Amino acid sequence: MSDGILTAVDKYLDRPREACGVIGIWGKARNVQVVHLCYLGLYALQHRGQEGAGIVTYDGTKMRLCKGAGLVPEVFDEDSLADLEGFSGIGHVRLAVRGERHVVNTQPFSVRSSYGSLAAAHNGSLLNGKELREQLLSQGTVLQTDSDSEIILNLIARSGAGSLPEAIARTLEIMEGSYALVILGEDMLLAARDPWGNRPLTLGEVEEGYIVASESCAIANLGGEIIREVEPGELLILDGLGWRTYRHKSAARKALCSFEHVYFARPDSCIGGKNAYLVRKAIGRELAKEAAVNADVVIGAPDSGVAPALGFAEAAGLPFEIGVIKNRYVGRTFLRPTQADRRTAVRIKLNPVVDVLKGKRVAVVDDSIVRGTTSGKLITLLRDAGAREVHMYVASPPYRFPCFYGNEPSSQSELVASGRTVGELKDLIGADSLHYISIEGLVRAIGIPRDQLCLACFSGEYPITPANYRREDDGEEHL
């Protein structure tokens, strides 16, 4: 993107970035058309990826694919949706992580194989993707993208198994890492979740068919019923007989990404059986119990700080107010004429409610501090609006370690909390005080045992560690 296009507004949203959402639908009859369900489901999952989207459908004779860069409504129009005929389909919204930004990596991927036409899309990251890629290349496979989905399709196609489910089971056996995977074949749709349950995936039913989606909100938004979350290490087959379950692999423990509850998941989704909005409120309550609160009013950083701020205000016995208004209509094409207008650009996106803030000691609750750029700007904004004191409360522990499981940032150098004390961070962002929830407090609020959660970006203890995984940023072998 050129400098002439305003990227500051997007960069202002300094958050860990979720990499992708998936959906798959198998129609209950051959005359069902699923494309609009896929489209609307991707719309509901848009928060999981804004850089690209794609849908593949199968109509009984051939697979049809449409994908491209941008938001879901930018990628598809009435004509392209009309072309995507079929009683089954899979879809994907993409957020490119490091090294995968080229549009050629947009999912799903579609190939022809000895198992017939196949398409795949995934959310997550293969820790042994580099080794599997090198292995395929050494066997003469031509790979055109950096995407793990292309590797997965090639592994399936080359498996030599007697049936598609068997080929997928063999492929899952050699895949290491985190994933929620959907694979569309001619006679069935298969969905798999990694053995640790790191990436979320939910099974549901709509009138027209069975559906799997990264989050329950996509199923609920289609008027569907949630059947249940796909189990860690489970392989589901959706076909003309309904749905069947198989176990493809088991792990010694579960490791659901705790950031799903902190930030990634939409508030109306349930992950690990817990509603994300209610968990965020509970995090705010825990935070207020743990930290000293000296404030007149509580506000949430828009929008992801609002739910924990509500819980925080409730537990602290303080009024909750909307202290900053976010302009929802500032889009990706908003133009910033010069660098000097950067500050104005931020104000166009976020504007303080002066009468709420003036002369007050303000407790501002945010979900996380990742690169630190957001918090400093927000605090300046509040002080400029007349806040007497600004105390920052963070609804996740210090984000000190990179994520290797498909979420950004995946490099320690990007993390402002890495190598800094809380006091140094307070000074850096310009707050009067800075308080983080503890790991124990976060676990209590989520309500899932610690040994079933991934907390690696806070603790540095990585639950998914295949022996041959090499962290690319430091070049060391980690067992």
Of 48-56, 111-119, 374-382, 454-462, which segment contacts ligand SF4 by CB under 6 A? 454-462
Query: What span, in angstroms and rounded, lies between the C-alpha atoms of 260 and 239?
Result: 30
For position 271 contacting ligand SF4 by CB under 6 A, the verdict is: no
If one asks whether residue 407 binds ligand SF4 (CB under 6 A), the answer comes out as yes
Under 8 Å CB-to-CB from 467, ≥6 apart: which residues?
479
Q: Which is nearer to ligand SF4, 265 or 365 (CB)?
A: 265
Of the candidates 85, 94, 44, 88, the one whose C-alpha atom is nearest the C-alpha of residue 64 is 85
CB of 405 to ligand SF4, least distance (A): 4
When asked if residue 109 is in the footprint of ligand SF4 (CB under 6 A), the reply is no
* Residues 159-194 as b or e (16 or more Cβ within 10 Å = b): bebeebbebbbbbbeebbbbbbbbbbbeebbbbbbb
Enumerate residues 169-198 that contact ligand SF4 by CB under 6 A: 198
Binding test (CB under 6 A) with ligand SF4, winner from 257, 282, 293, 363: 257
Tokens representing 41?
Answer: 């489901």
The window from 142-150, 346-354, 453-461, 466-474 that contacts ligand SF4 (CB under 6 A) reads: 453-461
Kindly tell me which of 259 and 469 has the beta carbon lying closer to ligand SF4.
Answer: 259
Out of 38, 403, 415, 429, the residue judged to bind ligand SF4 by CB under 6 A: 403
Rounded to whole angstroms, the Cα distance separating 47 from 268 reads 12
Please say which residue, 378 or 454, places its beta carbon nearer to ligand SF4. 454
Four-point Cα dihedral 206, 210, 215, 218, nearest 10: -30
Q: Among 1-9, 21-29, 230-238, 401-409, which window interacts with ligand SF4 (CB under 6 A)? A: 401-409
The reply to whether 125 sits near ligand SF4 by the rule CB under 6 A is: no
Please report how close the Cβ of residue 458 comes to ligand SF4 at its closest, in angstroms. 7
Q: Within 13 Å and on the Cβ side, how many CA atoms surround 259? A: 27
**Binding-site member from 43, 87, 109, 259 for ligand SF4 (CB under 6 A):** 259
Minimum separation from the CB atom of position 342 to ligand SF4 (A): 29
Instruction: Identify the burial level of 255 via C-beta atoms within 10 angstroms of its C-beta, where 0-12 means exposed, 13-18 middle and 19 or more buried.
Output: buried
Shortest distance in whole angstroms from residue 255 CB to ligand SF4: 7
Q: Is 346 a residue that touches ligand SF4 (CB under 6 A)?
A: no
Neighbouring residues of 380: CB distance < 8 A, sequence distance ≥ 6 = 430
d(CA 386, CA 409): 34
Residue 410 touches ligand SF4, criterion: CB under 6 A: no
- Residue the block writes with tokens 């609920």: 220
Look up tokens 């609009």; give the residue. 36
- Structure tokens of 104? 């050629």
Helices (H), 407-477: 422-429, 439-446, 456-459
Active-site residue, 217 included: no
Instruction: Find the binding residues for ligand SF4 in span 8-27 (CB under 6 A).
Output: 16
Of 20, 66, 257, 403, which one is the catalytic site residue? 20
* Alpha-carbon torsion angle 105, 111, 113, 115, nearest 10: 100
Query: Among 405, 417, 435, 446, which residue sits at the site for ligand SF4 (rule: CB under 6 A)?
Result: 405
- Binding of ligand SF4 at residue 33 (CB under 6 A)? no
- For ligand SF4, which stretch binds (CB under 6 A), given 24-32, 371-379, 402-410, 414-422? 402-410
Question: Smallest Cα–Cα separation from 368: which of 324, 323, 400, 411?
Answer: 400
Is there binding between residue 382 and ligand SF4 (CB under 6 A)? no
Are 204 and 213 within 8 A, CB to CB?
Answer: yes
**Site size for ligand SF4 (CB under 6 A):** 12
16 or 86: CB nearest ligand SF4:
16
Catalytic residue numbers, as ranges: 20
- Which spans of this chain sit near ligand SF4 (rule: CB under 6 A)? 16, 198, 257-259, 403, 405, 407, 454-457
